[in-house]
Amino acid sequence: MVTVQGVVDRVGPTLLRAVLTAAEVQGVTDVVIAEGGRRTPTAAGDLVLGVAAGSRRDAVELVRHSRAAAGVLLKPPLAADEVVLAAARESGVAVVEVRQEAAWAQLVWLLRAVLDAAADDESGSADGEPDQFGDLFRLADAIAAVVDAPVTIEDANSRVLAYSARQDRTDPARVSTIMGRRVPDDVLARFRSRGVFRQLSKGRSVIFVPAQRDGTLPRLIVPIRMGGELLGSMWAVVDGAVTDERSAAFADTGPVVALHLLRRRARVDAERMRSAELVRAVLAGNAGTRTAAAELGLEDAPHRVIAIGTSGVDEADAEGVRLALWERMTRGVGRRPAVAEMHGVLYAVVPDSAGQGGWTALREVLAAGESLVAAGSPVPLAELPVSRAQAEETLGLLRTGSTGKRVATYEEVWAPLALHRAAQAAHASGITELGPVPVLRAHDEAHGSEYLATLFEWLRHPGDPRAASAALSIHPNTFRYRMKKLGELAAVDMDEPDVRLALLCQLVTIHWA
């Protein structure tokens, strides 16, 4: 059963936004268009499209009439109108906002495609896999016949999703693109230098790229868009300049391809969300963990929980960064990574191995980025919540910056973790208010001195003033002078072992708590 929120999640925020969810959650089963001038019958499970709702009064009447439905879709500003929302709350119906630029006709087909995809996910096809790619290849063949040229269909990242059967007119760039299932970097650079991708982003309907001196044949390119979002593009290898009629015919196929790409993305997103739900269950140690682990494809072997946090990124950009990390991890750990996001942190469950899909490979993939990566210790599947707690504690330590690391395992940072735990336990007891430490802290605050830091490094490097002064980035003579003045100020016997030990405990608490 897919809910209204599930439909919104599958379509994505580019087109839909849930403004109000109903108290009683219904499964969505059909899409109904509310026509102007007549009351369209609605039933439980319907998504009602307010195509003819042009005023607040229209929207309120539609919401009240659709009280049996699962939800009503409206465009702004009606979707956020308080009077409309009040009527929706009274009727117990959800309200979804449709982006202003989105065409209702395209949205109808997209929503029905999402519902079909949800039905396929629940019932399964004959071989257990929907034939999403076969449809796209057949569509590429049909488009090639329309434009009379070999065609590739690519996503927004220049990955080849499908290509037509006839590739008789070709060049090395097209061959390498199809063989590698993505446009090679050098080919991308050539087209980028000619401004092709800039034109794609600006919304041109058709782009013609003449032949190039390196032997690359002319290209006719059509961006694939829906609701203002660039989903991908179609590339046809042509023999020269193309007539307006032929270009228009090629461009006319764009909306059809857009629906296929959105349906494909809906399936991928549905699989990803299902995988994330299973990962959350495994990490929480809920009942049925072994079943969830089996569905995720986790072998009965030691696994690590990896916690990944964004660092130095505004919260407005953090979601995009986490999505990019998710995609990078997908490439790093295989086709179906065990990944989930919780509370702004990405979690992954990976085998503790050096092989394909293991922690070693993932570490190399993530080390190239700027995120903080913390790994719990390897544990049996039943103990994954323990590894998760360790990963979270390690991530918290990395966020303090006290280790100087961005990527670390729980085992690698045991010493600072021990100090951190001890400091947290001692801090609550008021240990730092005893003895000379308050005197030195007050002097530092009043005069801008660094006696506490100097004493801490002296205790950390016993008998080695050069190492202590290097840690403070000062000259050894300056360090010795500070220690002399410190002794006069605090009047404490530094030769007493228990005094040194007590001071070290206090300063560790200040530094690590």
CATH for 232: 3.30.450.40
Domain boundary among 89, 123, 157: 123
The total number of residues shown for the chain amounts to: 513
pLDDT of residue 127: 40
Instruction: Indicate if 70 and 91 belong to the same structural domain.
Output: yes
Domain boundary among 199, 218, 252: 252
DSSP per-residue codes, 350-364: EESSSSTTSHHHHHH
Is the pTM above the cut of 0.75? no
Residue type, 234: M
Q: Is residue 491 part of a domain?
A: yes
Q: How far apart are CA 463 and CA 456, in angstroms?
A: 13
Residue 49, Cα to own-chain centre: how many angstroms?
30
Q: How far apart are CA 89 and CA 76, in angstroms?
A: 18
Q: Which two tokens stand for residue 5?
A: 């929120």
173-182: list long-range contacts, CB under 8 Å, 24+ apart. Answer: 173/216, 174/150, 174/217, 174/237, 177/152, 178/152, 182/154, 182/157, 182/158
Q: How far apart are CA 20 and CA 30, in angstroms?
A: 19
Q: Is residue 287 part of a domain?
A: no
Report the chain's C-alpha Rg in angstroms. Answer: 31
**Parallel, antiparallel, or unpaired: how do β-strands 71-74 and 46-49 relate?**
parallel
Q: Is residue 308 part of a domain?
A: yes
Q: CATH no. for residue 439? A: 1.10.10.2840
Question: Across the strands, what pairs with 154?
Answer: 160, 233
Q: Which two tokens stand for residue 116?
A: 């079909």
Instruction: Indicate if 32 and 110 belong to the same structural domain.
Output: yes
pLDDT of residue 85: 96
Instruction: Indicate if 364 and 465 belong to the same structural domain.
Output: no
Q: Is residue 420 part of a domain?
A: no
* 262 three-state secondary structure: helix
End-to-end CA distance of the chain: 48
Instruction: Indicate if 88 and 169 belong to the same structural domain.
Output: no
Q: Is residue 291 part of a domain?
A: no
DSSP per-residue codes, 94-157: EEEEEPTTS-HHHHHHHHHHHHHHHHHHHH--TTSS--HHHHHHHHHHHHHHHHTS-EEEEETT
**Parallel, antiparallel, or unpaired: how do β-strands 16-20 and 94-98 relate?**
antiparallel
Residue 465, Cα to own-chain centre: how many angstroms?
48
Range of the domain at 12: 4-123
Instruction: Indicate if 8 and 119 belong to the same structural domain.
Output: yes
Q: Which two tokens stand for residue 247?
A: 């270009």
Instruction: Indicate if 405 and 438 belong to the same structural domain.
Output: no
pLDDT of residue 311: 60
pLDDT of residue 166: 62
* 230 three-state secondary structure: strand
Q: How far apart are CA 197 and CA 203, in angstroms?
A: 10
Q: How far apart are CA 374 and CA 309, in angstroms?
A: 9
User: How many other C-beta atoms are found inside a 10 Å radius of the C-beta of residue 458?
Assistant: 26
Q: Is residue 199 part of a domain?
A: yes
Residue in the block written with tokens 């969830």: 292
* 164 three-state secondary structure: coil
Q: Which two tokens stand for residue 188?
A: 């991308």
Instruction: Indicate if 100 and 159 belong to the same structural domain.
Output: no
Q: Is residue 288 part of a domain?
A: no
Q: CATH no. for residue 340? A: 3.30.70
pLDDT of residue 129: 41
pLDDT of residue 212: 83
Instruction: Indicate if 81 and 150 belong to the same structural domain.
Output: no
Instruction: Indicate if 408 and 475 belong to the same structural domain.
Output: no
Instruction: Indicate if 327 and 229 belong to the same structural domain.
Output: no
The residue among 100, 56, 50 whose CA lies nearest residue 78 is 56
Number of structural domains (the chain) is 4
Residue in the block written with tokens 């994505």: 12
Instruction: Indicate if 434 and 400 belong to the same structural domain.
Output: no
Instruction: Indicate if 8 and 69 belong to the same structural domain.
Output: yes
Q: Is residue 67 part of a domain?
A: yes
Residues 6+ apart with CB under 8 A from 313: 321
Q: How far apart are CA 423 and CA 504, in angstroms?
A: 11
Domain boundary among 387, 412, 437: 412
pLDDT along the chain (513 residues), means of 10: 81 78 84 75 89 91 93 94 95 92 69 68 45 66 85 85 72 69 76 84 82 85 83 89 87 85 72 77 77 79 88 52 60 59 84 76 76 91 92 90 87 89 83 89 90 90 90 92 87 85 88 74
